Amino acid sequence: MLVGSVLLCWSVVGPSAAITGREALAAADQPQPTTTDKVLRDTKQAVESTKQYTLQQKEAFQKTIQAELAELQGKIAELHKKAGAASVEARSEMQKALQDLERKKNEVRTQLDDVSQSTSSGWSKLKENLNRTLDDLKQSYNETVSKLP
């Protein structure tokens, strides 16, 4: 009976439809995933995609912060040189400002290290804090430079 149906289908619609019919019969013999299985699989894929995206965002953020921090370290090193050449009174003021800059720079570095250890859910809070701390360091640097003679 099945052979007759396939031959009839072949003669009416051509060989490509007959092959599709056989594939449909073979697929019907396979167990179909349930809606729950599909939802679970799709959810797992979405979670994995989100994790990968978050990881990429974290890595890009870290590289950006590292570059900004390296630039600021160079600028702070220049200030150390200028402090060495300044008068005794100016040097004392600059040393205090440089100590504050070094403290803030170390705080940025510590928070940056924390980002690499953070979980996907916790890193956005760290990102906000790190941006704030880096902005504070930049502002302190600019204030220090503006007070130079």
The string of pLDDT tens digits covering residues 97-121 is: 999 999 999 999 999 888 878 877 7
In a domain, residue 15? The reply is no
- Determine the angle formed by the axes of helices 123-146 and 35-85, rounding to 10 degrees: 20
pTM of the model: 0.66
Please give the tally of structural domains in the chain. Answer: 1
Digit-coded pLDDT (tens) for 130-143 = 999 999 999 999 99
Number of DSSP helices (H) and strands (E) in the chain, helices first: 5, 0
In a domain, residue 88? The reply is yes
Indicate if the pLDDT at residue 5 is higher than 70: no
In a domain, residue 118? The reply is yes
In a domain, residue 45? The reply is no
Percent of the chain predicted with pLDDT > 90: 33
